[in-house]
Structure 1
Amino acid sequence: MAQDKVNTISAEVNRDEKEAFDLDQALSVAGLGIYNIKYTVVLSLFLIGAILEPVGYAYILPSSKCDLEMTDTIRGFVGSIPYIGIVITSFPWGYLVDTRGRKHTVIYSSLAAGILGIASAFMPNLISFIILKFLTSLCIACPAAVPYTFVGELCPLKYRDIMLTLINAMQVSGAVLVPLFAWAILPLNFEANFGLYYFKPWRLLAIVYSSIFIIGGLLLINGPESPKYLMSQGRQEDTLQVLRTMYAQNKKKSPDEFPIKRLKYTEGAINTKTSFLMSLKVQSVPLLKPPYVKWMALNSTLMFGIFATVNGLNMWLPEILNRVFSGAGEGTACEVIAQGANETVAEGECIDTIDSLTFIINAAANCSVGVIAIITSVVIKYIGKKLLLVLVYCTIGVFCILINFVSQQILFAIFLSSIALMGLAIAPVNAYSVQIFPTHLRGMAVGLSMMVGRAGSVVGSNVAGALLNSVCEATFYVFGGSLILCGLLSCFLPKSSSEQDVKQRNITRL
């Protein structure tokens, strides 16, 4: 019976080649398979690079303190540079992504980020290092956000939430490379005389972190453009060519067997010949007006909560764990942090070594988060995006508050390291952006919400640095309370788009 129905639908599609189908139906026909998996892996490299570059500062800055003559005050500022650059450029990158395409924009931005990041490792002094790192940060906003939109637009509607959660899981899993690379490289004992400076392990580590951008950019050169972007530009034949290739690789058939010959054009194309300001207005103004402004505000608030917590505390995580496991003191977590602060090394003296247990705890925590993220990518189909967000925000919020009450080092390490789990919330929030906003506004919407999130990173890192050594308990109350608030706000998100899958049930069997 079911097979007869499928054959009937196939016959109808093949008999009437002039009949037009919408793009979601066409993506369902193309299916999910090796094509999607291949490019999901490639696009995940950009997200991993966007993690390694800023988070790697937690290991690079303490090791470079002496060579670059960096005070602790300057260190806090330098640690904020990646997020400052992302905030400044998220808006223009979002504009370019929506008007010039996903593929080429992310390739050019990533190659630039990789080259500038590698160049920064050869800078002889603090000023030149800061300048190159700032230029690098101006290129990170695109690869840090676009892959979510890209992956969502390359897969069928019914699998979109799963694939976005999966790529987020790959990004979170990739974060384990930050402490592992540092553990492998920083203990090396070598110096190469470059005249103005000595090339030391921390410089090699900076090169390794930045090289991921270049690898991702090179691998995507022969990849596809987003079919949704192509369709939004009126390029129907190019869209069909991408769909035929996707169908052929996923179904192991000839591209000519793709049964859909014509697509419905459902969204207005962007006139790329208009002026920059006019096009920018077309891209951004609708997001600040009903019906999208409330969703833009909600998604941006949720992103702010994620990044303020993850990156706010994460930059200081290795140093805090190092104090705990190096025997800086006993008592509650904040008592240990306060005692460690009183025993800080003199200004100008370097700390080139980090306790091995700090590397192990950090790597194990990131690895565990990666495993949980992969499991989440499977169960999200059953629990839904909204419930996942509520659970993640509220659970980590409670853990942050509990840090003020534990005195056992292991419990403290577990609660503090669990903050990385907040990364699980990024994909569902971006999935809502893909669901809520139309194609021609989607890249800008994701870019702007990520921009607000990265602004949270700047605020969070400076707030954490200012409070940890003065009013430590308030630090965890503030971050924990903000997460619980975000969990409550998540309840106002719309229903998942999964109910629309029913409309696709027959067409997906073609």
Structure 2
Amino acid sequence: MSVPGKYSAKKMEFLDRNGNGIENGGWSNNMKKEMVYTFDEALDLAGRGWYTYGLMAFIVLAFQGLALDMFGISVVLTGACDLNLSHYQKSVLLSMPLIGSITMAWPWGFIADTQGRRKALAFSLWGSFILSSLSAFSPNWIVLAVLKFGCCSLSSGTQSLGFTLLGESCGQRLRSPVMIIVTTSLISVYGVYTVIGYFVLNLDVSIDLGFITFSNWRLLILIFASPLGLSAALLGLIYESPKFLLSMEKEEKALNILKKISDINRGGDSSYPVKKIVLNETSTLRLKNIPLWQSIKDQTFPLFKPPYLWRTIQLFYITAAIYCSNNGFFVWLPFVVDTFYSGYNGNGTAGASVCDMIVNSNEMDTDTGTCVGTVKELALWMGVIQVLAYITINTGVSLLSRWKKSVMVTIMTMVVICGVLIPSVTNRIASIVLLNGFITNSLCIAIIFSYYVDIFPTSYRGMAACLGVMVARASSLVGINLVGSYIDSHCTTSFYAWSAYIISGVVVSLFLPSDNLKPQS
């Protein structure tokens, strides 16, 4: 059944196709007959159905490819015994994905806001898939590092572009729950790459290609790259963001896409009533034939001036608090798992806390230089448990998405409680639960990026989200190095310090807009 439209009230923030404010007297008789809708109204009328679910599945696949490519390198290096890597070389290789993603975050924002979300995604997915596949044939660690840098420079745009496309293609009521559900693909990556790595690294693969011997860890790289290639191929089934097209004065194309989305969602029903859309933004026009640097500046500087300055700083700080703590400890989980594996097997650590075991493991480490080449079974089971637990928790979070601010504050507070308790708890099961609880900040990823979609207008949203990703990756890089430097020597202090940092993020989160915020168009 068609839903009637309504005429827009007299508000100067509504713009016509030439960027001029529309007065009530400015409506022509034909426009009145066409029924004018705001963009969110038009998007809600497109409904929810097969296109919505297909877009969600596509974004999940793309995000999983991004995460596997970026974080799976830690498992890949476990099996790369033939490269004879030193500790320094491993550190460089582990840093390359994050350095690459930081380098390209700003350009991705510019590309997304000027060329479109879909075109930018195509370049990101295809480019990262090709470079990631080539890295499987690296003859030495330097070539591997260069290719991983390039690969993650390209794939870094996937997260912000995906969130932006998803947020601009789903109705207001669907936006938050859909984005939270999609985040499962990111928070479950540790379990996914651990499980895959366990089985692949235990395979006996050895193929002489002349310049290299193709072994199991090289096969693992190709497997981790496959979601990027598959999602790139499926991008042909995804439409451009109709809001982006509308902001670029392509109203007819935007309407055609909204009608196609409505037809797919409603099973071929062609009764989509919208004939005219108005975009409630203060400015959506861009000057043509201006220098590239001026165009980039015009996309960036407004985010750091009123009225967006406070919100930009606020979101960047919360993003840093989430990523710095979460990813910092996330990357070091294999080390912690190894500590559990050795610490609870007759090494005199009965009644010891996690920090006691880490110190004890560090003192007993003789570092023989032997490359194990496999993933321990304990890590496999922890990965499986983590995936199941996160999916369950994330489903609950999605049901509460209308209260996303309260949910985020609650999750971050629980993370703080886990961090404070970890150094003093001596029970094995409780320690594992608290350690997993301490990295559940990742459940806030979709929530914080949904604010980038809601707070900033379409013309700056892609840049804001990509700069948010740059802050996220830079914070992760800092967190990884801080955790690696101090976890073994100042374990207890580290957990307390990180908990204090996260609680500061909670305080800043309290000043976010209320949960009934209406997104910028």
- TM-score by length of structure 2 reads 0.89
Task: Identify the residue that residue 226 of structure 2 maps to in structure 1.
Answer: 211
Give the aligned partner of residue 68 of structure 1. Answer: 83
Query: Any conservation in 1 of the 2:6–2:37 contact (CA below 8 Å)?
Result: no
Equivalence map 1:199-238=2 (5 Å):
199-238=214-253
Relative to structure 1, the CA distance from residue 14 to residue 329 in structure 2 (aligned partners, 3 Å threshold; closer, same or farther) is: farther
Report which stretch shifted further, 194-203 or 278-287. 194-203
Distance (whole Å) between structure 1 residues aligned to residue 213 and residue 59 of structure 2:
35
Within 1, Cα distance between the matches of 2:185 and 2:489?
36
Provide closer, same or farther for how the CA distance between residues 173 and 77 of structure 1 changes in structure 2, counting only shifts above 3 A: same
Aligned to 1:77: 92
Worse-superposed segment, 153-162 or 322-331: 322-331
Q: 1:18 aligns with which of 34, 51, 57?
A: 34
Question: 1:212 Cα deviation (Å)?
Answer: 1.1
Report if the CA contact (8 A) 2:198-2:376 is conserved.
no
Over aligned residue pairs, what C-alpha RMSD do you find? Answer: 2.4
Residues 206 and 493 of structure 1: CA distance in aligned 2, closer, same or farther (over 3 Å) = same
For residue 167 of structure 1, report the CA deviation from its aligned partner: 1.4
Counterpart residue type for residue 183 of structure 1? Y
What SS does the corresponding residue of 2:243 show, helix, strand or coil?
Answer: helix
1:158 aligned residue (153, 173, 197) = 173
Q: Distance in 2 between matches of 1:359 and 1:7?
A: 51
The residue correspondences of 1:250-269 to structure 2 (distance < 5 A) are 250-255=265-270, 257-267=271-281, 268-269=284-285
Query: Which consecutive aligned stretches of 4+ in structure 1 deviate over 6 angstroms post-superposition?
Result: none
Match of 2:144 in 1: 129
**Offset of residue 63 of structure 1:** 2.2
Letter matched to residue 497 of structure 2:
V
| Cα offset, 1:254, TM superposition | 3.8
Q: Percent identity?
A: 27
Q: Which runs of 5+ in 1 are unaligned?
A: 502-510
Query: Counterparts in 2 of 1:466-485, with a 5 A limit?
Result: 466-485=485-504
What is the CA–CA distance in structure 2 between the aligned matches of 1:464 and 1:172, rounded to whole Å? Answer: 19
Map of 1:33 onto structure 2 = 49
Q: 1:321 to 1:95 in 2, by over 3 A?
A: same
* Structure 1 residue 175: Cα displacement: 4.8
Deviation at 1:72, TM superposition (A): 1.7
3-state DSSP of counterpart to 1:21: strand
SS of 2:278's equivalent in the other structure is: coil
What is the correspondence of 1:38-437 to structure 2 with a 5 Å cutoff? Answer: 38-64=54-80, 66-173=81-188, 175-255=190-270, 257-267=271-281, 268-271=284-287, 273-326=289-342, 327=345, 330=349, 331-344=352-365, 346=367, 348-381=369-402, 384-437=403-456
Could you report, residue by residue, the CA deviation over 1:151-177 in whole angstroms, capped at 9, with x for unpaired residues?
110011122111211211343345532
Residue number in structure 2 paired with 1:440? 459
SS for the counterpart of 1:447 is helix
CA–CA separation in structure 1 for the residues paired with 2:404 and 2:400:
10
Amino acid corresponding to residue 473 of structure 2 in structure 1: R
In the TM superposition, residue 339 of structure 1 has moved relative to its aligned partner by 2.2
The CA distance in 1 between the partners of 2:218 and 2:366, in whole Å, is 23
Residue identity opposite 2:357 in structure 1 = V
Question: Which letter maps to 1:438?
Answer: P
Conservation of the 8 A alpha-carbon contact between 1:71 and 1:347: no
Q: 1:498 to 1:292 in 2, by over 3 A?
A: closer
Q: Per the alignment, do residues 347 and 133 of structure 1 end up closer, same or farther by CA in structure 2, a change over 3 Å counting?
A: farther
Q: Which residue of 1 aligns with 2:471?
A: 452
Aligned residue type for 1:59: V
User: What secondary structure sits across from 2:249 in the alignment?
Assistant: coil
Instruction: Find the aligned partners of 2:296 and 2:132 in 1 and give their Cα distance.
Output: 29
Give a deviation string over 1:373-411, Cα, whole Å, max 9, x none: 122111222xx1111111111111221221111222222
Looking at structure 2, the residues matched to 464 and 473 of structure 1 have their Cα atoms a distance apart, in angstroms, of 12
Conserved 8 A contact 2:412-2:506: yes
Quick check: 1:192–1:198 contact (8 Å CA) kept in 2?
yes
Q: How many residues align?
A: 493
Residue 140 of structure 1 aligns to a residue in which SS?
helix
Change in CA separation of 1:394 and 1:10 when aligned onto 2, cut-off 3 Å: closer
Task: Mark the CA change 1:342 to 1:193 in structure 2 (over 3 Å): closer, same or farther.
Answer: farther
CA contact (8 A) 1:55 1:311 kept: no
What amino acid maps onto 1:335 in structure 2?
A: D
Alpha-carbon distance in structure 2 between the residues aligned to 1:372 and 1:35: 26
Q: Does the aligned pair in 2 maintain the 1:320–1:337 contact within 8 Å?
A: yes
Q: How many angstroms apart in 1 are the aligned matches of 2:153 and 2:32?
A: 50
Which amino acid letter does the alignment assign opposite residue 514 of structure 2? Answer: K
Q: Normalising by structure 1, what TM-score?
A: 0.91
What letter corresponds to residue 249 of structure 1 in structure 2?
I
Report the 3-state secondary structure (helix = DSSP H, G, I; strand = E; otherwise coil) of the residue aligned with 1:192: strand
1:423 shift after superposition: 1.4
Q: Is the 8 A contact 1:76 1:465 kept in 2?
A: no
Partner of 2:505: 486
Give the aligned residue type for 1:151. Answer: L
Which sits farther off after the overlay, 342-351 or 281-290? 342-351
Instruction: State the Cα deviation string for residues 82-116 of structure 1 (Å, max 9, x = none).
Output: 11111111011011011100001011111111111
Q: 1:485/1:192 Cα in 2 relative to 1: closer, same or farther (>3 Å)?
A: same
Deviation at 1:291, TM superposition (A): 1.2
Residues 198 and 493 of structure 1, relative CA distance in 2, 3 Å threshold:
same
CA contact (8 A) 1:398 1:484 kept: no
Structure richer in helix, relative to its length = 1
Separation in structure 1 between the aligned mates of residue 242 and residue 368 of structure 2, nearest angstrom: 55
Unaligned 5+ runs, structure 2 = 8-28
- Range that drifts further, 453-462 or 470-479: 470-479
Distance in 1, matches of 2:332 and 2:348, equals: 18
